[in-house]
Structure 1
Amino acid sequence: MRPRKGQKNRPHFAHINPTPNCSPESALHFGFKELLYISLLESIDKNMEVNMSWKCQSCDDRHFRNLIKKSVEVRKEFSFGVCRPDISLFDKNGKFIIAIEIVVSHAPEKIVIDYYKKNKVTLIMFKLDSHEDINQVFFDILLPTHVDVCLNPKCTKCGNATVKNYLYIIKGACWSCRDKIKIAAMVSIYGRYSVDAFNKVELELASTYGVDTKRVFSETTSSTYRAHICRKCDFFIGRHFLYSEYILQALYDDKSYDKYDAGYRCIECE
């Protein structure tokens, strides 16, 4: 195949001698692979960055990274026995660190993914649906479909990736006197919890934003727990109304709230 100038002055690929066994699918795969390989090769040679951004499947955040930050060599269809990535990247010690797979119809098999995980190789996938997707190669920031790495800090206990935690300070009214009251909730992609489950640091953080709490006895549940308190009439917000009338309404934008960065938490160690 050879590069041919397209209508928008961007190269696409066409056969020098068309063959009957070359499908549009294989041409799409080949074209994207060749263009990306050339781009990576030139960028490494000129010590330039190749930035990419992706929606992380572990923490749901959008990460940003220089794809070739640790790479000094790029190879195309290099065989590792059990797998042959479309593009492979190697670090200064010759270690295989990144596998790039271009997916048109068939994603890598489990045995291949297991090989990458076992050898701590980052898997980056580009899912292509049409020839228009080839234009992704020319974007200032590459947008891979899948990257199996999370840039969040690792848990010091178990080593798993942590998730971003946010403190919501919800602006509501006391059920008893209707005076202003602030409700605190910690929110992440895995759920939410409030002051009855806060640790000491989280309680202190909420307090700095004007949230008043104390331990109370609930006749409804016949239990003692920490609850939000109205500083004017000392009325407390019970667990049931806390979630239904304050926290859930804030999450669905029916109540005003302020959102603050509250660091990271490990779901596995909770």
Structure 2
Amino acid sequence: MNEILYTIAKDSEGNLFTALSAPKGSEYYCVNCNNVLVLKKSGKTGPRTKRPHFAHKSVAPNCQPETALHFGFKTLAAEKLSQYLEAGATFNFNWRCGFCKDRHTGNYTKKLKSVRLEYDLKHCRPDIALLDENDEIFAAIEIVVTHKPSEHAVNYYLENKIILIQIDLKADDDIYLVEEKLTEPDLVKFCLNPKCNVCDNFQQKIIMSIVDGKCWNCYSPMKASVMKDGANKFLFGPEKFSPAEFTFAREKGVAISEYQSKITGEQYQANFCPKCGTFIRRYSKLLNYLSYAQEEALPNQDFIIRYNCSYCCEKKISDDPDWAQNLKW
């Protein structure tokens, strides 16, 4: 992390100002130690000039700019969330799920009724707590400058079904990116997919992608069907489709029939061209169609077919009566 400067301060009434928004001529105080700060904003630019910031008028050896940045950001973030709540507006945020690898979108204000700073949960104190209509916490926002939430706090959130949202600050200029940082948090310990009834872990989304391409042999229009996960990773083709999945693909205009290899004699179901009868054999050729669709070179439609728990499928179930508990994340 580069040198952290003081980029936030308060006036005599406790109002917060960033170094860019603070007018000259006013008196400012440190949000951390309450000592007087001087606004350093020359308007000059160049390799030897520092960006706008505040500096202590007198030496304050026990005050750290990282602490001021942490306090200022969480306070401004709480104010931003409250503004959306009061306006009755949607405030979406996005994250790459660590459970299913899919990309999810959530809404801060969907269940939100109040926002609290340093909310005392006895076992931990999240920087920002989001409370529902029953005055119960459903999400905790942790602002990280130098120290991440303790393992004890993270476990408490997970055990009590509290969504952990973590925002990492890497520079003092992040104080100007409050809404952007809330929109794209660095970590969200939650998945929108349903949980497995066996091991209670979040399940993986199985998606059928119908690709509108061309036959690689005669170049006539043809559709190809392929299964992928929520992260767009190729899973399998028609050779592993269930009867219901065959029916669904055919209803969408995909031609599927049994293919037999002339070399090995192996038989399996595959996509084929309805004009010339050429098959799209599994793996490499089928993967090409999906890759072109992901690059937007070919149009495609995605359909959520089912959910699958890849976690307990990968584990061997023993005779231990507590095996289900042992399978949990």
Regarding TM over 0.5, the answer is yes
Deviations 1:195-249 (CA, angstroms, capped at 9, x unpaired): 111223332332234322222333433332112333344443433xxx3234235
Matched letter for residue 215 of structure 2: A
- In the alignment, which of 88, 91, 101 is matched to residue 142 of structure 2? 101
Unaligned 5+ runs, structure 1: none
Which residue of 2 is the match for residue 60 of structure 1?
Answer: 102
Identity rate, percent: 29
- Corresponding residue SS for 1:266: strand
Correspondence for 1:36 among 77, 88, 111:
77
Which stretches in structure 2 are left out of the alignment for 5+ residues? Answer: 1-8, 36-55, 314-329
Match of 2:123 in 1: 82
In 2, distance between residues paired with 1:169 and 1:5? 52
What does residue 211 of structure 2 align with? 169
Q: How many residues align structurally? A: 262
Instruction: Check if 1:146 corresponds to 2:187.
Output: yes
Matched, 1:213 2:256: yes
| Maintained 8 Å contact 1:70/1:92 | yes
Q: Which amino acid aligns with 1:231?
A: P
The two structures, once aligned, show a CA RMSD in angstroms of 3.2
- SS at structure 1 position matched to 2:67: helix
More strand by share: 1
Q: Distance in 1 between matches of 2:204 and 2:303?
A: 12
Residue 93 of structure 1 deviates from its aligned partner by: 2.1
Q: CA deviation at 1:84?
A: 1.4
Task: Output the TM-score relative to the length of structure 1.
Answer: 0.80
Asked if 1:261 is matched to 2:273, the reply is no
Q: In structure 2, what is the equivalent of residue 124 of structure 1?
A: 165
Shift of 1:14: 4.6
Deviation of the 1:182 alpha carbon: 3.3
Change (3 A) 1:98 1:140: closer
2:91 maps to 1:51: yes
Question: 2:204 and 2:168 mapped to 1: Cα distance?
Answer: 27
* One-letter amino acid of the counterpart of residue 93, structure 2: S
TM-score scaled by structure 2?
A: 0.67
Code of the aligned partner of 1:30: F
| SS of the residue 1:257 aligns to | coil
Question: Structure 1 residues 99, 179: CA separation in 2 closer, same or farther (over 3 Å shift)?
Answer: closer
CA contact (8 A) 2:213 2:221 kept: yes
> Alpha-carbon deviation of 1:95?
1.9
User: Take 1:127 and 1:143, find their aligned partners in 2: how far apart are those partners?
Assistant: 10
Residue 271 of structure 2 corresponds to: 228
Q: Which amino acid is the alignment partner of residue 89 of structure 2?
A: E
Given that 1:170 and 1:250 are in contact with CA atoms closer than 8 Å, whether structure 2 keeps it comes out as no
- 1:130 is aligned with what amino acid? A
Q: Structure 1 stretches (4+) deviating beyond 6 angstroms? A: none
